[in-house]
Homo-oligomer: A and B are copies of this chain.
Amino acid sequence: MAKDYGEVELFGVGGSPFARRVQIALELKGVQYTYFEEDLRNKSDLLIKYNPIHKKVPVLVHNGRPLAESLVILEYIDETWENHHPILPQQPYDRALARFWSRFIDDKCMPAISKAAFTADKEERDKGTEESLESLQILENVLKHKFFGGETTIGIVDIAAGFIAFWLPAIEEAVGLKLLTNEKFPKLYKWGEDYTNHPVVKKNLPQRDRVVGFFKARYASITASK
């Protein structure tokens, strides 16, 4: 029987790529947890209490002790439930690269894609498209195996890049943009299919039409306020 690690709670929002990262990590590890769905327009007192700094999801609460920031939580999960499905590599240099690329996705890719899709100003939007394509090309070059974590292993970079595999195609559909194509980025495109078809990932993705609807509304609100 598995060692008892106590109570695990997760505060998330169904459509959030950051909250889904944590769910996928917990389920890859086989950790039992209780999930609390938040309403970001009406945040719960518990969410404010547990994440007073950023007041954002996800928040993981383990035996009453809260943690915020998805990449920080992923490393915590890996260090706490260390015997099953490693999320980070073992060697310090490989671990450092995994941290570097996870941050690259958060700090470069996601802001570029958001700029390309949801900026009112045409010039800014074009700049966002260019930056997105550059970022995707960099990831295309970095991907050496089926997954970023290896031939058979989903690692922290895969989990972080889930946004590119699932949310980016939904954004493309919602706003009529084409960034991640099979022609331009064959390895990354194939990775996106493999990643979203992994049983643990698949089970933890939101409903695609709802996500597309969310991005359509976001796009409409931006083009309306031009």
Q: State the A residues within 8 Å of B (CB).
A: 53, 62, 65, 67-69, 72-73, 75-76, 79-80, 92-93, 95-97, 99-100, 103-104, 138
The answer to whether A100 and B69 have CB atoms under 8 Å apart is: yes
Complex A-B: 24 CB contacts under 8 Å: A53-B104, A53-B138, A65-B93, A67-B93, A67-B97, A67-B100, A68-B100, A69-B100, A69-B103, A72-B96, A72-B99, A72-B100, A73-B96, A75-B95, A75-B96, A75-B99, A76-B92, A76-B93, A76-B95, A76-B96, A79-B92, A79-B95, A79-B96, A80-B92
Main secondary structure of the interface of A (DSSP, over half): helix
Q: How many copies does the complex hold?
A: 2
Taking the closest CB of chain B, its distance from the CB of A84, in whole angstroms, is 15
List residues of chain B with CB within 8 A of the CB of A95: 75-76, 79
Are A62 and B100 in contact, CB atoms less than 8 angstroms apart?
no
